Amino acid sequence: MTSRRLLIAALLAVLTVPAVTTRIYASDEVQYFAFLRSLAFDGDLSFENEYQHFFEAGAGGAGFHETFLEERYTRAGRRINFGTLGPAILWAPFYAAGHLAAGVLGAPQDGYSQPYVSAVAYGSAVYGWLAIFLSAAIAHRWFGLGLAAAIAVLLGTPLLFYIYVAPPFSHACATFAVTLCLWTWLRVRDTWSLRGVVLLGLTVGLMATMRDQAGLFAIGPALDFARWAFRRGDPRRAAGLALAGTLATLAAFAPQVLASRAINGYIGPHESVGNKMSWSSPHALGVLVDPGHGWLAWTPLAILALAGLVALAAGRGRARHPDARWLGVCALLMVAAQVYINGAVESWTVAGSFGQRRFVELTPLLVLGLAAVLASGRPPRRLLWALTAVCVWWNLGLLLQFGTHRMDRRQLTLRDNAWQTFVELPRDAPALAWRYLTDRGSFYRQPRQ
């Protein structure tokens, strides 16, 4: 990446800060924020007061009171929380800055006021952009290009929504943690030193604290290490490194273990989460190709990126990395693991959310795949950029429809949304963008379809 392009991208990130939505509304946002506020101000993980505050403020949506404030308690006598501690760990420095800002601005220093909420929202945006820059660095090392592919993935996937429209979800933080883990792995694997393995283990543990399913990304580094150990033929050194990496992972994951025990009375997520899992993954195909809820329907740019990963694994990519074919196989296995786990959840449609948000953490692999396609030169790069532009506009069009409540949030209708995206929205987009920057609250006051 040239310093000029990197500077332009960084400037773009700074200039778009006003586009970040600084509010907490959805129940997932409330749950993740509750970890931070409860630990910082109450010193516990009892969320009764946090849930009550946001319910009275109108957040949480339908069913929030029934799920989180009526007679439903964990075995430890706490209110249920389906989130994880990880985002609160990453938000903590920004939250501290929000506390200082509240004192300077005269806002209530209660953990709830606007400076705290804004700090968390901006923190997610920072982590989302860091994930983009790290992904670009990985792709550049492999193919000599990366920043353009990374920006295209940002604009062409739901990550854009979870950086700017709904940042208090966990996805921007989780994407950063996954990208940091992959970036660390691709450097550590050159030597598999003790220090490198410990650092990799720490990033794996951090990644797993963000969202439970993010831990499955460790499949790639684990398989790669096993292959290296087998080829080296030094079982004693391999066992020592594996132990060190495992201990580092457990150390980084320990805060989540302690948090789950305090909340649920045992280690692990709430038992209701296990009740909605079907380990045969009956929805694996639907979560990919279902016309109304499938990842590829919401995010067609992923098709191009996956084609790039397949080409890489088949040895047809023009990667600079000498071990690119094997790493392409590892990347596809990580994608497959996410398809499997998302297909195993009974709530696989994530109805009411923007896009298949549980695939957002695949961002660095999509950047790598798109860079592979662009570097291959087949089909011609101009055609590829044209297809990429169409996919980007599709994502932007869906985002605009979602934000303006022109679509059924529980069902993507391809024909109707294509008409809106490619015919009606182009003429409305400038006015909508200006309204988003100057009168964002008007979108929230609209009735949902």
The pLDDT score that the predictor gives to residue 275 is 66
| Window from 111-120, 150-159, 192-201, 274-283 with minimum mean pLDDT | 274-283
Q: At what angle do helices 219-232 and 235-264 cross, to 10 degrees?
A: 160
Contact 366, 264 (CB under 8 A): no
Q: What's the mean pLDDT in 148-167?
A: 95
Tokens at residue 373, please?
Answer: 């396609």
End-to-end C-alpha distance for the chain, whole angstroms: 44
pLDDT value at 412 more than 60:
yes
- How far is it, in rounded angstroms, from Cα 28 to Cα 196? 34
> How far is C-alpha 95 from the chain's CA centre?
20
- How far is it, in rounded angstroms, from Cα 42 to Cα 170? 22
Contact 50, 33 (CB under 8 A): yes
Mean pLDDT, rounded, of the chain:
90
pLDDT tens digits for range 5-26:
778 888 888 888 888 999 998 8
Q: What are the two backbone dihedrals, phi and then psi, of residue 133, each rounded to the nearest 5 degrees? A: -65, -40
- How far is it, in rounded angstroms, from Cα 276 to Cα 445? 33
Fill in the amino acid letter for 292.
G
pLDDT tens digits for range 322-354:
888 999 999 999 999 999 999 999 888 887 788
Tally of residues, the chain = 449
pLDDT tens digits for range 79-119:
999 999 999 999 999 999 999 999 999 999 999 999 999 99
pLDDT tens digits for range 299-308:
999 999 999 9
Contact 224, 327 (CB under 8 A): yes
Tokens at residue 211, please?
Answer: 């969202």
- How far is it, in rounded angstroms, from Cα 328 to Cα 322? 12
The structure's pTM equals 0.93
Q: What's the mean pLDDT in 267-284?
A: 82
Residue 364 CB partners (closer than 8 Å, separation 6+): 131, 134, 135, 138, 175, 178, 179, 182, 183
Highest mean pLDDT among 1-15, 203-217, 429-443: 203-217
- How far is it, in rounded angstroms, from Cα 262 to Cα 176? 27
Residue 345, beta-bridge partner list: 277
Contact 26, 61 (CB under 8 A): yes
**Residue bearing tokens 């392009």:** 5
Output b/e per residue, 383-421; b: 16+ Cβ within 10 A.
ebeebbeebbbbbbbbbbbbbbebbeeeebeeeebeebb
pLDDT tens digits for range 29-70:
999 999 999 999 999 899 999 999 999 988 877 788 888 888
The pLDDT score that the predictor gives to residue 274 is 64
The pLDDT score that the predictor gives to residue 50 is 94
SS3 sequence of the chain: CCHHHHHHHHHHHHHCHHHCCCCCCEHHHHHHHHHHHHHHHHCCCCCHHHHHHHHHCCCECCCHHHHHCCCCECCCCCECCCCCCHHHHHHHHHHHHHHHHHHHHCCCCCCCCHHHHHHHHHHHHHHHHHHHHHHHHHHHHHHCCCHHHHHHHHHHCCHHHHHHCCCCCCHHHHHHHHHHHHHHHHHHCCCCCHHHHHHHHHHHHHHHHHCHHHHHHHHHHHHHHHHHHHHHCCHHHHHHHHHHHHHHHHHHHHHHHHHHHHHHCCCCCCHHHHHCECCCCCCCCHHHHCCCCCHHHHCCHHHHHHHHHHHHHCCCCCCCCCCHHHHHHHHHHHHHHHHHHHHCECCCCCCCCCCCHHHHHHHHHHHHHHHHHHHHCCCCHHHHHHHHHHHHHHHHHHHHHHHCCCCCCCCCCHHHHHHHHHHHHHHHHHHHHHHHHHCCHHHHCCCCC
